[in-house]
Structure 1
Amino acid sequence: MTQQQVFRIHQDDDGHRAGVEAVAIVQPTQGEVLVRVSASGVNYKDALAGTGKGKVIKRFPITGGIDAAGIVEQSEHPCWKPGDAVIATGFGMAFDHDGGYAETLCVPGDWLAPTPQGLDPRQAMILGTAGFTAGLAVHRLLVNGQHPGLGPILVTGASGGVGSIAINILAKLDFEVVAVSNKQALHDWLTQLGASRIIGRDELPGGDRPLEKAVWGGAVDNVGGAMLAQITRTLAPNGNIASIGLAGGTALETTVMPFILRGIGLLGCNSVDVPFPLRADLWRRLATDWRPSDLDALVSDQVDLDGLPAVFERMLAGKTHGRILVMPA
């Protein structure tokens, strides 16, 4: 049986270990598709899984990588045929099903989205799960009535994959975008992406009253915890927060007053199991009117499977920015 190189994660009596190893290529059964992987990406969840520092995997051993793009090689699903360009993100990938850090990926065909015209697999993974999540956040904000007239949009975790792409999309939609980042060296880069202003975390308007002075029209929050609570108190009437990340903690200590007296919306963004029609439409938007003007400007590094452990450690230490591409072969 043909072998392939994958980034495999183990957790057993010997503890956590992860690295490149050879495994058999899985053949698709009914409803499944075998994809030849062209590119993948590194996301925060991948770093947690690959280092064992986060309990984000349901079964072991497992091949890492929560996203991938490539070309269909074999198909047992009626919607896909060999040669189709496809994108796989979310669902059970690298959670309870082998993921995209491999030369091939065998997944249910229902998990795939077509790579839209205008994106090749590498470009699709420059966006990847981060870009898809940013697009979902923008979609949820717009559906809930967010518009530039409400005031500036705050983007926390601005130098990460989701934050940097969200900045670019929102700027294209004529929002005034204020980025939160303590990384002084990246301020010019964030400005180039579309941020009109960059502030440090300690510059956020403070106070612990249930309602503080309204400063922000809306927000895309990649941090959670105390920072998210602080934003709820300083959001303008009828503004919205797209809540994505929880690196700052899972607890939310706030009151109902901003939601009732100012009518703000807290919109959770789960990109894992977005239904197909919306999934395909978001990718179409990311390839057209929401497409970043310079995709390569979002890329800070490119590695092969052997380079993943070092990247994971850098990411968890806050020493990465933008998107990191993974080219499996």
Structure 2
Amino acid sequence: MTDLFNQLRQQLGNQGKKIVLPEGTDVRVLTAAARLQEEGIVKPILLGNELQLKQAAADASIDLDGIEWIDPEQASYFDELIDLFVERRKGKATVEQARELLKDANVFGTMLVYSGRADGLVSGAAHSTADTVRPALQIIKTKPGVSKTSGAFIMMKGEERLVFADCAITIAPTAQELAEIALESAKTAKAFGIEPKVAMLSFSTKGSAVSEETERVVEAVKIAKTMDPDLTLDGEFQFDAAYVPEVAAKKAPDSDLKGDANVFVFPSLEAGNIGYKLVQRLGGYEAIGPILQGLNAPVNDLSRGCSADDVYKLSLITAAQSL
């Protein structure tokens, strides 16, 4: 267990945060739920058909004693959630449509979070990112001042912790969206014990190249500094100028960042997704996430290739986001 997760466990203490795991019949999810239940720090809520859930647990020799599980269609408050869903969607769904939609575990689980019956949700072991994110955007929605959610990764190697964003959601962010991603990424960093120093990345450093793409990043830096003047943030930077002190001294000697950035905002999803996977696979960093940013309550997405350990770790992160 890395220091980060020991830190999260200490932060969570005995607050009893409840995390919904909609994919209750997946053996990886069951394994993680049993681990969470045994530790007693986070309370897992499994969703699924009773017979299927119990059979999956039995097949994997997993003890469900003490773990809360819910069959959505059998929940005593199912009709109450239907009415709440219709109200939240403001005429975009009828009662009949809502009844069908809430039979979906991700939609039902998101409604548990929205209604205060749970503190967060982790899904994606058997569902696409869209299946996890769409209900969150429709029901929980983004915070005031945030136009879109974004996906960050905590990149860890030894004692080093970095934040990379957006690596999961927004394909071609505008300058305004890049600024919002920068501020939300700084908040994510703080939540995990990282004092944020934010670099807005490009293929140019401080005007070494000029194009529509670089100018978008330059504008994003201006917007972000207006939104949070106290945040240590600068750009546009090539990665080496943001990360390597010797390069920073040559390319951007007057910047507040001296090659000591630890939060990196990529100019596009293409760059961010490729970048984090290169660092993960070639650099040997552990990639934790994606952590969805900017929502009113935490919902996080797993990779379908995840392990039980990934489910466990993201559950702790999600619980910590709700503090």
Task: Give the TM-score normalised by structure 2.
Answer: 0.29
Structure richer in strand, relative to its length: 1
Higher relative contact order (CA 8 A, sep 6+): 2
- TM-score where L is the length of structure 1: 0.29
